[in-house]
Amino acid sequence: MPCVRPCQIPGSSRVAAAATGPEPGAAYNLRHESNCELALSAPGIVVAGLRKRYGTVLALDGMSFSVRPGQVTGFVGPNGAGKSTTMRVILGLDAVEEGTALIGGLPYRGLRHPLHHVGSLLDAAAPHPGRSGRNHLLWLAHSQGLDVRRVDRVIEQAGLAPAARRKAGGYSLGMRQRLGIAAALLGDPPVVLLDEPFNGMDPDGIVWMRGLLRSLASEGRAVLVSSHLMGEMQHTADHLVVAGRGRAIADASVAELIAAASRGNGATLEDVYLRLTREAVEFRTGTSTEDRK
Amino acid sequence: MRPALHAEWTKARTVAGPLWLLLGTIAATVALSAGAVSVARCPCGDMAEVSLIGVDLGQALVVILAVLVIAGEYGTGMIRTTLTAMPHRSTVLAAKAAVLTGIVAAAGTVAVLGSLLAGRLILPGHVQPLTDGPTLRTALAAILYLTLIALLGLGVATAVRDSATSIGTVLGLLYVFPVLSQTIGDQHWQRLLQRITPMPDHLGVTAAWAGAALLSGALLLHLRDA
Amino acid sequence: MSAFAHVVHAEWTKFRTVRGWVAGMVAAALLLVVFALLAGVSSDQKGAPPVPIGPDGGPVTDSFYFVHRPLTGDGAITASVPALKSSIPADPEHLRPGTVPWAKAGLIVKESTRPGARYAAIMVTGGHGVRMQDGYVHDTAGPAGVSARLLRLERSGDAITGYASADGAHWTKVGTVHLRGLGPTAQGGLFVASPPSVQGMGTSGSVSTAAFGNLRVQGHWAPGDWTGGQVGAESPGFAGYPANTSGAFTESGGRFTVTGAGDMAPAVRETLPTGGTLGEILTGTFAALIAVIVVAALSVTTEYRSGLVRVTLAAGPGRSRVLAAKAIVLGAVAFVAGLVGAAVAVPLGLHLAEANGVYVFPVTAATEVRVVLGVAALLATVSVLALSAGAVFRHSAGAVTTVVVAVVLPYILMAIPFMPASVSTWLARVTPGAAFAVLQTLVPYHQVASIYTPYEGYYPLAPWAGFAVLAGYAMGALAVAAVLLHRRDA
């Protein structure tokens, strides 16, 4: 069993799932390799104890979870729960006051040619309206030392071929999503991070996206997908991280979540999600504790 | 750095804006210079400077180009894609600065040579050829000036992040300072103002402005969330 | 409220709820004040010689070579001026003969030799024939067509009458002026003045020498010799004599030869370069303009960028009405910003200038109000221009640059030294920069040859006419924006 959450951040009330981590209560910093060798060598994403404040609003308050290879991890939660902020922190766009976010054991900003390590889609691609989708991918490829063949490859993969040479200003939201997916796949990365990829997709696109996520996971990649579509997550995700008030209030497999919450009533993931977020309960693998706050 | 440069160069050549702005810079500079030379009274002094007056107009287009290089990305949100692909923020800024320097220097050279040529055609004998030391110096200074103005624009836009505000700030600096130094009566202040006004014959001052802008831009780029 | 009032109200709410835009307009007002402060503290002329003030309160140039004797009560003086020759510098060391159109030689009665004192004079000039002048600003042409070389000046009470004649037999009255409050004893005699000569884009000091003959005086002239001397040698408006020359007179056998320099005339910018103007105190207008342009352009382009324009047009489908409402809101806010900024800047700048011993060309209260309102109207109109440009370009960078270049660059070009006056006045007539005429407080005088360019503060168009040029551009741009807003998809 890989180290899921090997390092606890001081102040976190939660208990590690597996007792492979250091003793509870001890202060550790993930940057100290000696304490967290497991985390550093772990593939995927490890987010630990993120804390961030925008003015008076506490955006992240001890956000911790990990994303394992070979799985689609759903990242859900109400608006303002800190999902997008977490993703931006993982991608090195936003700085945090406390905590770390590591990809394959390294902070994002330490990655050379990061698109070989992580592919990401934030909001939908935001290409220059006057640049064609293909040229948007071309500059990204050049930034990673890749050439045009890789660009044409991901254009095919994302189903963007018909629109690739048109100016991106005329793209629909669905098409921009496909462009963003193409960009995420450009470096053939082991970790893929997608923020709301189903947004603006037509039914064909949703089916395609579902298949894509499954196949990326089956290729052994770690896939983190944020979404508001619980039905979609129930069918696509293996594992779910539910964010609420800047922290992960649940971190468990989809099957476990449904089983634990429904107790045989045949509840859907949506029911579970609504209950978790409404009552701000915490739920995690290996524990059935429901700390009411 | 190489991939970042390559990426920024690809960005610059795959949209129409920069090319049109560079062509516009050349056209505006040469047109205003030619106009000024043809109306200038008393062709007696150094007409090389007169025939480069178009730089006053061309610089405005250079400022747009430079500002949009980064503020345009903030406007569309593409800056996040850029910084995700190239997390070394100083490298991104350096690559942008390098590409900008290259294209503005190239367009500036065409604009300046075109203006001098126009001057020679309109007032034969009054504008010295480039082999003339002072003329060559004036021409080189004008090209360098345009390049430094581009870097100034890039630095301000990196700090300000909004294209309109950045352009307003830079044009304010470029156009209000000369007006101010003309209207200030006191000799001492006038000299001081003229010393700190970015101008083609004050390359050191212009470079200091550009450097300060780039430095503060780089610092803020590092400190702030994207 | 009418439907349009609702649209205006909505636009006002939109404007005031974006902190950056409100801050931009406040910055515009502050820039006016800050630049006035800067202009005020930047000059220090404490201890400079005082500027002579004429009888009507305006600054004057009063420097000339005066050969005089006191005249008590009524009397007259007659003389011929057979020759008036002027010299202008050929290079810093040498002079060459030249024509100075307003070089003056003639007869004068003056309250005293104090610069700024009342006078009336009749004279021959270098290029404008016989003139009678008084009070520094009044100028009357003498008989045309005849080369009148004989001059006569009579005093009767406070009335001074000038005559000219070609042959000594037929005299033509040129004019009568009343020097109110002229005491019983005045100074009367011969004078020579030689104003700076306009050469290219600058002026250089000239010197003139006149020969006087047939000098006759009537009435109670003080006995004794004629006294020669330079009036106003220390005046700030006196450029001095060219190298190796000085004022002097010689008399031999009833013939006088008088050499003089300077002028008796209203001060203009060129002759009083140390004088400040309201326009200089309001230099901040240029910076304020840029702030207003940025806010105005953004107020429409951000709507396009965020897609808010679709909400706006859905909420108020009359597209022209939305544009008009935006123009009204922005124009009004910019007007208030300009009004407040200028209303604070002008008295502040004037006070600081005075405290630093800087002489500011005086203006009437009405002119001061006109300048302040003009700045406010200028900012309001430019905001409409920038708004329209924003709606046309739908891109803030293009809109801001176009408007800044269209409004400010013409002014900079006007101010370039080598730019011939014809070009800079053309620019000040046809470009949006014409509107800077609202800052104008100086008046050109035909009898003072000087440099009357926009750079010196003299605009070819009257303040409101110059403003109308800008308003025309703004209305045209607004119309284009309205048409495009209708034709294009939102």
Q: What is the pLDDT of residues C107-122, one digit of tens each?
A: 999 999 999 999 999 9
Domain with C67 in it: what CATH number? 2.60.120
Whether residues C203 and C90 fall in one domain: yes
Read off the DSSP letter of residue B161: -
- pLDDT band at residue A290, thresholds of 50, 70 and 90? very low
pLDDT at C316: 56
Whether residues C220 and C288 fall in one domain: no
Largest CA distance in chain B: 58
* Residues of chain B positioned with their CB less than 8 A from the CB of C38: 180, 184
| Last residue in a domain, options C206, C240, C266 | C266
- Report in angstroms the alpha-carbon separations of A167 from A175, B10, C156, C271, C486: 11, 15, 90, 62, 25
| Last residue in a domain, options C266, C300, C333 | C266
Q: Is residue A73 included in any domain, yes or no?
A: no
Contact C20, C334 (CB under 8 A): no
Read off the DSSP letter of residue C90: S
Contact residues for C139 (Cβ-Cβ < 8 A; gap 6+) = C131, C132, C133, C446, C447
Query: Around Cβ A70, how many Cβ atoms within 10 Å?
Result: 15
Q: Does residue B135 surpass a pLDDT of 50?
A: yes
Dihedral sign for Cα atoms in the order C111, C116, C119, C124: positive
- pLDDT band at residue C236, thresholds of 50, 70 and 90? confident
pLDDT at B226: 78
- What is the pLDDT averaged over residues C179-202? 87
Which of A118, A139, A171, A193 should be substituted to probe chain B, the one whose Cβ sees the most B Cβ atoms within 10 Å? A139
pLDDT at C119: 94
Cβ distance of A123 and B11 shorter than 8 Å = no
B10 closest CB neighbour out of A109, A127, A138: A138
* Residues of chain C positioned with their CB less than 8 A from the CB of B167: 294, 396-397, 400-401, 404
Which stretches does DSSP call E strand in A125-210? 191-195
Whether residues C348 and C302 fall in one domain: yes
Interface residue A128 vs chain B (CB under 8 A) = yes
* Residues of chain C positioned with their CB less than 8 A from the CB of B186: 42-45
Q: Is residue A161 included in any domain, yes or no?
A: yes
**What type of residue is A231?**
G
Read off the tokens for C301.
């382009």
Q: Does residue A72 surpass a pLDDT of 90?
A: yes
Which of A86, A96, A112, A128 should be substituted to probe chain B, the one whose Cβ sees the most B Cβ atoms within 10 Å? A128
Range(s) of the domain holding residue A154: 125-188
Which of C21, C280, C401, C414 should be substituted to probe chain B, the one whose Cβ sees the most B Cβ atoms within 10 Å? C401
Cβ distance of B83 and A93 shorter than 8 Å = yes
Q: Per the structure, how many domains does chain B have?
A: 1
Q: Per the structure, how many domains does chain C have?
A: 2
Q: Nearest 5 degrees, angle CA A170-CA A174-CA A178?
A: 95
pLDDT digits (tens, 9 = 90+) for C199-220: 766 778 899 999 999 899 999 9
Chains with ≥3 CB–CB distances under 8 Å to B:
A, C
At residue C229, the 3 state secondary structure works out as strand
Interface residue A129 vs chain B (CB under 8 A) = yes
Q: Per the structure, how many domains does chain A have?
A: 1
Residue in chain C closest to B28 (alpha carbons) equals C405
Q: Does residue C355 surpass a pLDDT of 50?
A: yes
Q: Is residue A173 included in any domain, yes or no?
A: yes
Residue in chain B closest to A85 (alpha carbons) equals B225
B3 closest CB neighbour out of A91, A93, A145: A145
* Residues of chain A positioned with their CB less than 8 A from the CB of B6: 142-143, 145
Of the given ranges (A261-275, C278-292, C415-429), which has the lowest mean pLDDT? Answer: A261-275
Q: Is residue A113 included in any domain, yes or no?
A: no
* Residues of chain A positioned with their CB less than 8 A from the CB of B77: 123, 126
* Residues of chain A positioned with their CB less than 8 A from the CB of B65: none
Residue in chain B closest to C398 (alpha carbons) equals B64
Q: Is residue A182 included in any domain, yes or no?
A: yes
pLDDT digits (tens, 9 = 90+) for C121-153: 999 998 898 999 999 999 999 887 657 689 999
- What is the pLDDT averaged over residues B133-150? 91
Whether residues C278 and C130 fall in one domain: no
Residue in chain A closest to B11 (alpha carbons) equals A139
Question: What's the CA gap between C167 and C165, in Å, rounded?
Answer: 6
Contact C298, C21 (CB under 8 A): yes
What DSSP string describes C369-436?
A: HHHHHHHHHHHHHHHHHHHHHHHHH--HHHHHHHHHHHHHHHHHHHT-TTS-HHHHHHHHHHSGGGGG
At residue C94, the 3 state secondary structure works out as coil
Contact residues for A290 (Cβ-Cβ < 8 A; gap 6+) = A281, A282, A283
Q: Is residue A163 included in any domain, yes or no?
A: yes
Whether residues C481 and C401 fall in one domain: yes
Cβ distance of A93 and B17 shorter than 8 Å = no
Contact C379, C392 (CB under 8 A): no
Interface residue B38 vs chain C (CB under 8 A) = no
Quote the pTM value.
0.84
B76 closest CB neighbour out of A93, A126, A139: A126
Range(s) of the domain holding residue C348: 3-44+274-487
Residue in chain B closest to C276 (alpha carbons) equals B185
| Last residue in a domain, options C266, C298, C323 | C266
Query: Around Cβ A156, how many Cβ atoms within 10 Å?
Result: 12
- pLDDT band at residue A34, thresholds of 50, 70 and 90? very low
- pLDDT band at residue C302, thresholds of 50, 70 and 90? confident
Q: Is residue C55 included in any domain, yes or no?
A: no
Q: Does residue B207 surpass a pLDDT of 80?
A: yes
Question: What's the CA gap between C160 and C144, in Å, rounded?
Answer: 21
CA B160 from centroid of its chain's CA atoms: 18
Mean pLDDT of chain B: 88
Whether residues C75 and C209 fall in one domain: yes
